[in-house]
Amino acid sequence: MLKSTTRHVHIFAADIRNDNFIASDTKLTLDVDPDNEFIWNDPALQKVYSEFDRLVAAYTGLALTEYNLRRIGSDLENFIRGLLQQGEIAYNLDSRVLNFSMGRPQVRGPGQIENRPGQ
Protein backbone atom coordinates (compact mmCIF):
# COMPACT_ATOMS: atom_id res chain seq x y z
CA MET A 1 0.00 0.00 0.00
CA LEU A 2 1.33 3.41 -0.95
CA LYS A 3 1.46 5.99 1.80
CA SER A 4 3.00 9.30 2.76
CA THR A 5 3.48 10.41 6.33
CA THR A 6 4.65 13.75 7.62
CA ARG A 7 4.45 14.94 11.20
CA HIS A 8 0.85 16.14 10.88
CA VAL A 9 -0.40 14.49 7.68
CA HIS A 10 -0.79 10.79 6.90
CA ILE A 11 -2.06 9.86 3.43
CA PHE A 12 -2.83 6.27 2.48
CA ALA A 13 -3.77 4.86 -0.93
CA ALA A 14 -6.46 2.86 0.78
CA ASP A 15 -10.07 2.62 1.85
CA ILE A 16 -11.07 1.91 5.45
CA ARG A 17 -13.39 -1.04 6.05
CA ASN A 18 -14.13 -2.40 9.51
CA ASP A 19 -11.21 -0.38 10.93
CA ASN A 20 -8.80 -1.97 8.43
CA PHE A 21 -6.93 -0.38 5.55
CA ILE A 22 -7.69 -1.98 2.19
CA ALA A 23 -5.20 -0.95 -0.50
CA SER A 24 -6.78 1.00 -3.35
CA ASP A 25 -5.62 2.50 -6.63
CA THR A 26 -8.57 4.89 -6.71
CA LYS A 27 -9.08 6.16 -3.15
CA LEU A 28 -6.91 8.20 -0.81
CA THR A 29 -7.49 8.34 2.94
CA LEU A 30 -6.29 11.35 4.94
CA ASP A 31 -5.45 11.41 8.66
CA VAL A 32 -4.80 14.95 9.94
CA ASP A 33 -2.72 15.58 13.07
CA PRO A 34 -2.73 12.00 14.42
CA ASP A 35 -0.87 13.04 17.60
CA ASN A 36 -3.36 15.85 18.38
CA GLU A 37 -0.56 18.41 18.50
CA PHE A 38 -3.03 21.17 17.56
CA ILE A 39 -6.37 22.43 18.77
CA TRP A 40 -8.70 22.24 15.78
CA ASN A 41 -12.03 23.84 14.99
CA ASP A 42 -14.36 22.64 12.24
CA PRO A 43 -13.73 25.53 9.82
CA ALA A 44 -9.94 25.03 9.97
CA LEU A 45 -10.25 21.27 9.53
CA GLN A 46 -12.61 21.76 6.59
CA LYS A 47 -10.00 24.07 5.01
CA VAL A 48 -7.44 21.26 5.25
CA TYR A 49 -9.86 18.77 3.66
CA SER A 50 -10.69 21.26 0.88
CA GLU A 51 -7.00 21.87 0.23
CA PHE A 52 -6.43 18.10 0.13
CA ASP A 53 -9.25 17.73 -2.43
CA ARG A 54 -7.78 20.57 -4.49
CA LEU A 55 -4.29 19.03 -4.44
CA VAL A 56 -5.61 15.57 -5.35
CA ALA A 57 -7.59 17.07 -8.24
CA ALA A 58 -4.42 18.79 -9.48
CA TYR A 59 -2.77 15.35 -9.76
CA THR A 60 -5.67 13.81 -11.69
CA GLY A 61 -4.34 11.82 -14.61
CA LEU A 62 -0.87 11.40 -13.10
CA ALA A 63 0.39 8.09 -11.78
CA LEU A 64 -0.40 7.30 -8.16
CA THR A 65 3.16 7.13 -6.84
CA GLU A 66 4.80 7.53 -3.46
CA TYR A 67 6.54 10.64 -4.77
CA ASN A 68 3.26 12.32 -5.73
CA LEU A 69 1.72 11.40 -2.37
CA ARG A 70 4.74 12.93 -0.60
CA ARG A 71 4.31 16.14 -2.58
CA ILE A 72 0.65 16.36 -1.58
CA GLY A 73 1.59 15.63 2.05
CA SER A 74 4.32 18.29 2.07
CA ASP A 75 1.96 20.85 0.55
CA LEU A 76 -0.66 20.05 3.20
CA GLU A 77 1.96 20.32 5.95
CA ASN A 78 2.82 23.82 4.70
CA PHE A 79 -0.89 24.67 4.52
CA ILE A 80 -1.31 23.63 8.17
CA ARG A 81 1.70 25.78 9.11
CA GLY A 82 -0.10 28.72 7.50
CA LEU A 83 -3.22 28.04 9.57
CA LEU A 84 -1.08 28.02 12.71
CA GLN A 85 0.70 31.25 11.79
CA GLN A 86 -2.63 32.95 11.03
CA GLY A 87 -4.00 31.87 14.41
CA GLU A 88 -6.72 29.64 12.95
CA ILE A 89 -5.38 26.68 14.95
CA ALA A 90 -3.18 26.58 18.05
CA TYR A 91 -0.83 24.19 19.78
CA ASN A 92 -2.48 21.73 22.16
CA LEU A 93 -0.48 22.06 25.37
CA ASP A 94 -2.18 18.90 26.69
CA SER A 95 -0.82 16.83 23.79
CA ARG A 96 1.39 13.89 24.69
CA VAL A 97 3.95 15.41 22.31
CA LEU A 98 5.08 18.99 22.86
CA ASN A 99 7.30 19.25 19.82
CA PHE A 100 6.44 22.75 18.52
CA SER A 101 7.64 21.50 15.15
CA MET A 102 6.04 24.44 13.36
CA GLY A 103 7.53 27.15 15.54
CA ARG A 104 7.50 28.13 19.19
CA PRO A 105 4.27 29.48 20.64
CA GLN A 106 4.16 32.72 22.59
CA VAL A 107 2.31 32.44 25.88
CA ARG A 108 0.22 35.57 26.58
CA GLY A 109 -1.36 34.61 29.87
CA PRO A 110 -2.78 31.65 31.77
CA GLY A 111 -4.08 29.18 29.21
CA GLN A 112 -3.66 31.56 26.26
CA ILE A 113 -1.23 30.90 23.46
CA GLU A 114 -0.29 33.15 20.60
CA ASN A 115 1.52 31.50 17.71
CA ARG A 116 4.70 33.21 16.61
CA PRO A 117 5.23 32.87 12.84
CA GLY A 118 8.68 31.82 11.79
CA GLN A 119 9.90 31.13 15.31
What are the φ/ψ torsions at residue 23 (nearest 5 degrees)? -55, 145
| Number of other residues whose CB lies within 10 A of the CB of residue 83 | 21
Q: Which residues contact 115 (CB under 8 A, 6 or more apart)?
A: 84, 85, 87, 90, 91, 103, 105, 106
Q: What is the pLDDT of residues 3-17, one digit of tens each?
A: 999 989 999 999 999
Q: What is the pLDDT of residues 22-42, one digit of tens each?
A: 999 889 999 999 989 999 999
Confidence (pTM): 0.82
